Structures are given as C-alpha cells and as structure tokens.
Amino acid sequence: MDYQLLLLTIAVSFILAVIAAPLFIPLLRRMKFGQQVRDDGPQTHLKKAGTPTMGGIVIIVAFTLSFLKFSVVNTDFYVLLVATLGYGLIGFLDDYIKIVFKRSLGLTPRQKLFGQLLVGAILCALLISAGHNTAINIPGTSFSFDWSGWFYYPFIVIMLMAITNAVNFTDGLDGLLSGVSAIALAAFAVVAMQATSIAAGVCAAAMIGAVLGFLVFNAYPAKVFMGDTGSFGIGGAIGAIAIVTKSELLFLVIGGVFVVEMLSVVLQVVSFKTRGKRIFKMSPIHHHFELSGWSEWRVVISFWAVSLVLAGLGLYISKGL
C-alpha cells in the first residue's frame, strides 16, 4: 500500500474539517444546539453549558468526502462506510432528540439497541456475501480459532456495540476523544498496511485527518463538542477497521483506553447496585481523576500518552514495528 496515499488522505480530510468547522459552529449557535452539562459532574464543567455540540457532523462530512475520493470500491469499502455512517446516524438521532426535544437521555435504550443491531445485521450481510474469513486471530501468535462461521457474526455485532459505546464513554473532556482516537486510528492504519487493505488504510487516514481537524476547535477550551454523532461514527470506523483487517482482538490493546473507560462505568454500576458503594469518585474514569484534583488538560495529556504507549505495544505485538 502506498503510504503517500494515506498521507494525502489525512491532509485533505484535515483541511476539509478545518474549513468546515468555523462555518458550522456559528450555525449551531444560531440553532441553539448547546451542550447540556450534568449537575452532579465536576463543577468546572458547568461553564461549558451552551457550548455548541453535534460538531461530529464536521468529522463525518470530512471523513466521507475524503474516503469516497481516495478509497478503492470493494466489499471492505462498503463495510467501512456503512459502519461509520450507520453508527454516526444513531449518534446524530440521539443528539438531535436531546437538543431539539429537550430529552436528556436522547434515544431510549431500546431504540439505541435496535439501531445498533440493525447496522450490525447489515454489516454481517455484507461480510457473508463477500465470504469474509470468520477465524479469530490471537495477536502476536500464529494461532487462530474459528467459531464455525455463524458464531462469528453475533460476536462482531456485540463487539461493534461494545466499541462504539466505549468510544462514546471516552468523549467527556475537551480534546480527549479526538486525541485518543487519532492515535488508535494511526496504529490501525499501520495494521491495514500490513493486511494490504487499501480501503481500511484510507478509512483510518480519512478519520485521522477529520478528528485532528476537529481537534483544532475541540482542544481546551473547546469551542465545539462532537456529541454522539462524532463519537459513534468514530467507534463504528474503528470497529469496522478491526474486523476488515482481522485484528478484532488487537483492539483490546490498541484501544485499551476505550476499554478501561467502559470497564470503569460497568464496574461502578455493578458495585453500586450490589454493594451500594462506588469504586470511583465518578465514572467514566477520566472524571475520577478530575475529582481527585487533576486539571482537565493534565487528564487529557495523560490519556493521550497512555494511548500512544498502547498503540505502540499493539503494533509491536502485531509485528507492525
């Protein structure tokens, strides 16, 4: 795979996002699409109330235009595009309902589950029609196991749901998700080059450029938030890249920050319901560090650093370094 193609894709997507964001942010303000802030969260976040959200539309548009321009068109292309836009649409509907209809929870859990299952089913149909390899590779080894085909597909549907929600949980501080996702996507771009999947490499590159362009306006103090539109779209892209490149389990390492963020929420809920006690001061875990006295920027930089180490470890395991 030509790495120059990936660099060009990153550059074009970045430029598109940087151009689109200043045009889109005033529109969000005029439409009063402002962020709602939890009263029980860190008090420093109260000043963020009203900051334009749904900026993930900028990420999705920049990604889509770049991906359509530079990617080859094959089954991988359609899987990657459907995953990113499908989950992005779920996030958009969730954001829209929260803001326009003043429903703090957005889509109901049942509606969100239905949407995720529907997108997952479409992706499974595409993979089945292409004769997708259903073996699961163990990272760093030559060992793999096959769940006789049909067991694989429920696994990837659950996996995609877990990844998109884990990525969504990570979006809670200015620039946190943008930086962590760009690092994870860079690692997956290398994995895609190893797997010689042009579509997956271009998908990763297009999303890297989009989130970095968005980061220009999302870094502390953020002028815009991506909302579920962006976080679900990013999660869909990362999950689909892992599936297409046969690196499903490698996500646990490269996406380790996402995994920890989600586990912190699960453990907090289970602990409170079973023992009546909280493990963390607040979940997801990035809020725990804030309430422990860390500045927002310190938390973000630390999580970026951890993500960088995990990305390097993931590539080392996959023999990408």
Q: Where are the beta strands (DSSP E) in 86-230?
A: 135-137, 144-146
Q: How far apart are CA 230 and CA 91, in angstroms?
A: 7
Q: How far apart are CA 192 and CA 1, in angstroms?
A: 9
Instruction: Extract the annotated binding site.
Output: 168, 228
Per-residue burial over 185-222, b if 16 or more Cβ lie within 10 Å, else e, is bbbbbbbbbebebbbbbbbbbbbbbbbbbbbebbbeeb
Instruction: Extract the annotated binding site for Mg(2+).
Output: 168, 228
Residues 6+ apart with CB under 8 A from 296: 44, 173, 174, 220, 290
With residue 36 as reference, give the H or E element that holds it. none
With residue 316 as reference, give the H or E element that holds it. helix 296-317
